[in-house]
A and B are shown apart, each in its own frame.
Chain A
Amino acid sequence: GAVVSQHPSRVICKSGTSVKIECRSLDFQATTMFWYRQFPKQSLMLMATSNEGSKATYEQGVEKDKFLINHASLTLSTLTVTSAHPEDSSFYICSARTSGHNEQFFGPGTRLTVL
């Protein structure tokens, strides 16, 4: 089956620093990638939709200048949390789909802890 990886799996950083999370589709070309975050005991919330070669579309309430998304190739999307603060601590999950297929394939998630 289709595999999506994320790196790193967990990261701890100091408040005010920036953190980059990578999402890769390992065995298929991802025409669209999605970024979610999940706070403890809550469900996933969609943050943004990213199509290869174009600007990401952000959901209402998600600051595009704080959560920078780059989808430079058909197999890689990155999410950069800029000037991270403790309230940004969360489980960040990406997913990917390819043209012609209905399902999304999810990465294993990245746990971000901001001290």
Chain B
Amino acid sequence: DAKTTQPNSMESNEEEPVHLPCNHSTISGTDYIHWYRQLPSQGPEYVIHGLTSNVNNRMASLAIAEDRKSSTLILHRATLRDAAVYYCILRGNDYKLSFGAGTTVTVRA
């Protein structure tokens, strides 16, 4: 399985942007970069995904490095509801998701 590396934790102030890095140096040409987040005692929630180009949706933006060996999830204005564990996952052709430890995001009011 292609692996990803994320920081264990990150803190942010409310209303400020949050940049969550993810390294995936062994990514293959057909792997998509997916981001999910999980609040305590809930199932994960899809955030965003991309292949090569940067992506924006109502939840976040995804910036993908030109060599695709790293990416950054950007939450433009953090709210208390954004406090969660964020998972960066490489998705291959079998559509399986391999969850790592993720980054625990804490938002200070």
Contacts and interface: CB of A to CB of B under 8 A. Distances in A.
- Mutual binders A and B: yes
Interface of A: 4, 6, 32, 34, 36, 43-46, 49, 91, 93, 95, 97, 102-109, 111
B26 to A, nearest CB: 19
Interface in B81-103: 87, 91, 94-102
A6 B101 CA distance: 24
Instruction: Sort A-B residue pairs by CB-CB distance and give the 3 closest, nearest first.
Output: A106-B43, A44-B99, A103-B46
B29 to A, nearest CB: 16
A43 B102 contact: yes
Main secondary structure of the interface of B (DSSP, over half): loop
A4 B100 CA distance: 23
Contacts of A107: 43
Contact of A46 (B43, B49, B87, B98): B98
Contacts, number: 53
Given A93-B44, A102-B32, A46 B96 contact: yes
Given A34-B97, A43-B102, A46-B97, A102 B91 contact: yes
Interface of B: 32, 34, 36, 38, 41-46, 49, 87, 91, 94-102
B51 to A, nearest CB: 9
A49 B98 CA distance: 12
A102 B43 contact: no
Nearest to A43: B99
B95 A104 contact: yes
A95 B38 CA distance: 13
A43 B42 CA distance: 12
A68 to B, nearest CB: 20
18 contacts: A4-B43, A36-B99, A43-B87, A43-B101, A44-B44, A45-B99, A49-B96, A93-B43, A95-B43, A97-B95, A103-B46, A104-B95, A105-B46, A106-B36, A107-B43, A108-B42, A109-B41, A109-B43
